[in-house]
Amino acid sequence: MSLQDITTRITDAETAAGRPKGSVKLIAVSKVQPNERVRDVLVQGHRCFGENRVQEAAGKWPEFKEQFSDVDLHLIGPLQTNKVRQAIELFSAIHSVDRPKLAKALARLAQETGTCPDLFIQVNTGEEDQKAGILPTDADAFVAECRGLDLPVQGLMCIPPVDEEPALHFALLAKIAARNGLTGLSMGMSGDFERAIALGATHVRVGSAIFGERVKPEE
Ligand SMILES: *Cc1c(COP(=O)(O)O)cnc(C)c1O
């Protein structure tokens, strides 16, 4: 698939859901992709990208940012507290806020620097042991805690379990967001972004459907 195909499918899904055109933001997930593929997508005019590792993003994005203006880089993977400073410099949004310690570190640096990326709280909707994210039962309290720290919480993010119907998880995430007055929903990947849009996604994170299969295996 090309960037153009995915953009068309997003517009069609917006229309099918009775949502305004342009209400869904496409985050092109460029992790582990060769630089030429990423450059291709930049040259086509796309500016919003997602990376799941701070280190990898720090290695390739400063140069792209010099060559292309208005790059909008989103962190969609785990963030260690000792990388928060670096993350704040690189990313305009962080989708993986998942624990009080990280929230406090972000708040401290936001105070110090006077800026903070847009934040999404990651919810472990499938309650999987190996997955990051706050448990659904703890989500309301954690949203309140982040707000108490003056953090700019835009919404929630989830990664459904691979072997379950994602729509159930998207619906749960939308419900938790609504009852907390949050409008951002970061959900939907290559295999399920249309279902996510039907259930209210505002940000879809699409990698392989745009760039092709990832060349290097993920760690
Ligand atoms: C890799 C990744 C994606 C993109 O996955 P695809 O199936 O390639 O679209 C989306 N979200 C997160 C958090 C990821 O790590």
Q: How many residues does the chain have?
A: 219
On whether residue 218 sits in a domain, the answer given is no
On whether residue 101 sits in a domain, the answer given is yes
Give me the number of domains the chain comprises.
1
On whether residue 36 sits in a domain, the answer given is yes
Q: What's the CA-to-centroid distance between 92 and ligand 1, angstroms?
A: 18
Q: Ligand 1 atom closest to Cα of 205?
A: 10
On whether residue 39 sits in a domain, the answer given is yes
Q: How many Cα atoms within 13 Å fall on the side-chain side of residue 3?
A: 18
**pLDDT by residue (tens digit) across 163-174?**
999 999 999 999
Residue of 9, 30, 76 to test ligand 1 pocket, by largest number of atoms within 8 Å of CB: 76
Residue of 1, 5, 25, 29 to test ligand 1 pocket, by largest number of atoms within 8 Å of CB: 29
On whether residue 207 sits in a domain, the answer given is yes
Structural domain containing residue 125: 3-211
Ligand 1 and 206: CB distance under 6 A? yes
Ligand 1 and 126: CB distance under 6 A? no
Q: Is the pLDDT of residue 218 over 90?
A: no
**pLDDT by residue (tens digit) across 31-84?**
999 999 999 999 999 999 999 999 999 999 999 999 999 999 999 999 999 999
On whether residue 185 sits in a domain, the answer given is yes
Task: Report how far residue 193's alpha carbon sits from residue 13's, in angstroms, rounded to the nearest whole number.
Answer: 9
Query: 58, exposed or middle or buried, with CB in 10 Å at 0-12, 13-18, 19+?
Result: middle
What is the structure's pLDDT at 217?
Answer: 57
On whether residue 12 sits in a domain, the answer given is yes
Contact in structure between 203 and 218 (CB atoms under 8 Å)? no
CATH code assigned at 121? 3.20.20.10
Q: Ligand 1 atom closest to Cα of 95?
A: 13
Element at 206 (helix H, strand E): strand 203-206
Q: What interhelical angle do 35-43 and 54-67 show, nearest 10?
A: 40
On whether residue 48 sits in a domain, the answer given is yes
What whole-number percentage of the chain has pLDDT above 70?
98
